[in-house]
Amino acid sequence: MQTTTAVDLGNPDLYTTLDRHTRWREFAAEDAMVWSEPGSSPTGFWSVFSHRACAAVLGPSAPFTSEYGMMIGFDRDHPDNSGGQMMVVSEQDQHRKLRKLVGPLLSRAAARKLSDRVGAEVRGVLDRVLDGEVCDVAAAIGPRIPAAVVCEILGVPAADQDMLIDLTNHAFGGEDELFDGMTPRQAHTEILVYFDELISARRKQPGDDLVGTLVADDDLTTDDVLLNCDNVLIGGNETTRHAITGAVHAFATVPGLLDEIRAGSADIDTVVDEVLRWTSPAMHVLRVSTGEVTINGRDLPSGTPVVAWLPAANRDPAVFDEPDTFRAGRKPNRHIAFGHGLHHCLGSALARIELAVVLREVAERVSRVELVKEPTWLRAVVVQGYRELAVRFSGR
């Protein structure tokens, strides 16, 4: 174990080039523990990178909590206001209750029912881009599919979906100049105002969508419902869109992948897991220690913020052979792209089915995906995201 004092790892400028993978790989290989001085975080934070250390911090019995917040910038003295209310930043009874309410709408069975909707959305997108023109997948394809699915789960009318996609872009990509028109805070406020109106409508006219399900629970306040709608909207959109964009990136750069999926010689579920590992869209998860804890041989007092870097864990050379290489048949694949432990992403089944449908539909309709230029990356620290992925599709 190596302890390093580094530059502020919460600085989004560090993640706009592929140098990030070199840095992460070195830290993971050394099982490093890195201290970032106050800056992006008011009191500083520790970081871990190896698969083993990240799993230890996020494990179900680890003495850590998400209630103070789950992203860099929050800590015990500067907590997230939605702590204890929103599913991703709640623990114990509240967390279990919300998972029980939300879970059935995001389950494997629910996802299967939505797969026809995903297929129709993908075919509609491909109809628009199979003309030989250059297509920016990050703008034209990545956001459309998960947004359509999540909006359907929430009960958002089709007429409002484009507006909500735009707001989630600003809410999570807000540090990038692409989204200069609105700060993340303003975007979140707009999202909450929208859901406040939708909740009022559901109180008058109940429905079996997610908003209707949450509203029907007498123990939840309007504030609770609002925050968890926001949680599902952003959680379901923001990471899956970059995994979908990454799947197209793999088609353009991994020899034979398109043919293998079309011929059925590649197991689609195995390919989906490799897309998730290779793209790792959720960049970091923050936890705060609830008691004294030893991580990587270092004793940390109660109240210490520790950040687990998921893309580093998912390319840890101690766990993955040739970690930077996309291997369609990689097994086993112990990635933690959906997190680990009690807060493992509730929408994982939905994301997997969306990716499987995208892979199949593209392979069915497209003979070749040509990378027009190297992708560019979002200036962001919450998501490892594509800013632009310019490709040309050739129809079959």
Q: How far apart are CA 123 and CA 189, in angstroms?
A: 33
Q: What are residue 300's DSSP bridge partners? A: 293
Handedness of CA 18, 24, 29, 34 (dihedral sign): positive
Contacting residues for 162 by C-beta, under 8 A, at least 6 apart: none
Q: What are residue 136's DSSP bridge partners? A: 390
Q: Is residue 361 within 8 Å of 119, Cβ to Cβ? A: yes
The helix/strand/coil state of 48 is strand
Integer distance in angstroms from the first to the last C-alpha of the chain?
52
Q: Digits of tens for pLDDT over the chain (396 positions)? A: 566 666 899 999 999 999 999 999 999 999 999 999 999 999 999 999 999 999 999 999 899 999 999 999 999 999 988 888 878 888 888 888 888 888 888 888 888 888 988 999 899 989 988 888 999 999 888 888 888 888 889 998 888 988 887 787 777 655 566 656 788 788 888 988 999 999 999 999 998 899 999 999 999 999 989 888 888 888 888 889 999 999 999 999 999 999 999 999 999 999 999 999 999 999 999 999 999 999 999 999 999 999 999 999 999 999 999 999 999 999 999 999 999 988 888 889 999 999 999 999 999 999 999 999 999 999 999 999 999 999 999 998
State the pTM of this model.
0.92
* Tokens read off for 101: 């309410």
Cis peptide before 305 (omega within 30 of 0): no
Handedness of CA 142, 279, 60, 62 (dihedral sign): negative
Running DSSP on this structure, what letter comes out for residue 63?
Answer: S
Predicted local distance difference test score (pLDDT) of residue 176:
64
Running DSSP on this structure, what letter comes out for residue 59?
Answer: S
Domains located in the chain, CATH noted? 3-395 (1.10.630.10)
CA neighbours within 13 Å on the CB side: how many for 362?
Answer: 29
Neighbours of 256 (CB within 10 A): 11
